[in-house]
Amino acid sequence: MKSLREYLSWAEEKCVAIGHFNISDSEGFKAVTETAHELNLPVIIGVSEGEREFIGLAEAVAMVKTIQNNNQPVFLNADHTYSIEKAKIAIDAGVDCIIIDAAEKSLEENTKLTKEIVDYAKSKNPKILVEGEIGFIGKSSNLLESLPEGVSVETQTDPKEALQFIKNTGIDLLAPSVGNVHGIVKTGNPKLNIERIKAIKDIVGIPLVLHGGSGITDDNFKKAIKAGIRIIHINTELRVAYKEGIREGLKSREVAPYKFLAEGVEEMKEVVKERLKLFNNL
């Protein structure tokens, strides 16, 4: 099986993006991996600090390793990791990649924290990919009344600053702020700044990751991929689909979880399928 780094080169060559989907439990895992298998595509499973506390970090690693042993290209990402302590725990547990999220801190502090984790990660596992983030895009994969506080055009990533950040930290992947926000905004998510994506891509030379995928239009996604995005994160859309599906499932008199949760899995699969097809030009 190819490594995630190799799949990123493959995505660059084909001008597609690898889907990254967050999960909280085994139903989410099933929905994402079965759909990726049906479409014969690589996929990344994301678990944020809260999500991995719920599913269990060791359990998530074991589930992904089992599927990798069957030669299915599924990779595990320790999504949005805020502390050195939690980053080290995830790296030691055997994740394939990790994101250090210090975007809310000053550039100086962000650089220091990110570099410390890059050094630790590479000393433990040279194959692990470490992602850094500059430019704040909000924190909540939820249904939002308005744009998260602190997100504005001014907080979008500056290409030259991004290049310096990469040089100073040694990260493998960059998550920029380019008009994307976490969550679905009731009044509509902002449009992506495609010119900014192009400008960052032209200068940095490492794969770009688009967070906050929920609520972005198909047309905007296509343009972002063309401009250089190689991984796209989706969470809120899956959470909404799961909840709606379970609500339907609970209307029957079934008490077996694998029966009433099945509707939730089906709803999530629809989201994953549509997004993977779009991201991979299918």
| Least distance between ligand 13P and beta carbon 181 (Å) | 7
SS3 at position 154: helix
182 binds ligand 13P (CB under 6 A): yes
- Choice from 28, 46, 73, 264 touching ligand 13P (CB under 6 A): 46
Of the candidates 276, 273, 250, the residue with the CA atom closest to the CA atom of residue 263:
250
CB atoms within 10 A of CB 201: 20
52 binds ligand 13P (CB under 6 A): no
Surface-to-core class of residue 243, CB atoms within 10 Å of its CB (0-12 exposed, 13-18 middle, 19+ buried)? exposed
User: Stretches 26-34, 103-111, 209-217, 247-255: which one binds ligand 13P (CB under 6 A)?
Assistant: 209-217
Check the CA dihedral 49-52-57-62 and report its sign.
Answer: negative
| Least distance between ligand 13P and beta carbon 178 (Å) | 13
211 binds ligand 13P (CB under 6 A): yes
Task: Count CA atoms closer than 13 A to 18's CA, side-chain side.
Answer: 29
19 binds ligand 13P (CB under 6 A): no
22 binds ligand 13P (CB under 6 A): yes
110 binds ligand 13P (CB under 6 A): no
| Least distance between ligand 13P and beta carbon 236 (Å) | 3
Bridge-based pairing of strands 18-22 and 97-100 is unpaired
User: Stretches 11-19, 126-134, 191-199, 234-242: which one binds ligand 13P (CB under 6 A)?
Assistant: 234-242
Q: How far apart are CA 209 and CA 174, in angstroms?
A: 6
Q: Is 233 annotated as a binding residue?
A: no
Helix-, strand-, coil-residue percentages of the chain, each rounded to 5? 50, 15, 35
Q: Is 20 annotated as a binding residue?
A: no
234 binds ligand 13P (CB under 6 A): yes
DSSP state of 149: T
Residue indicated by tokens 């679905």? 184
115 binds ligand 13P (CB under 6 A): no
Interaction site with ligand 13P (CB under 6 A): 22, 46, 79-80, 141, 182-183, 211-214, 233-237
Specify binding-site residues for Zn(2+): 80, 101, 133, 182, 211
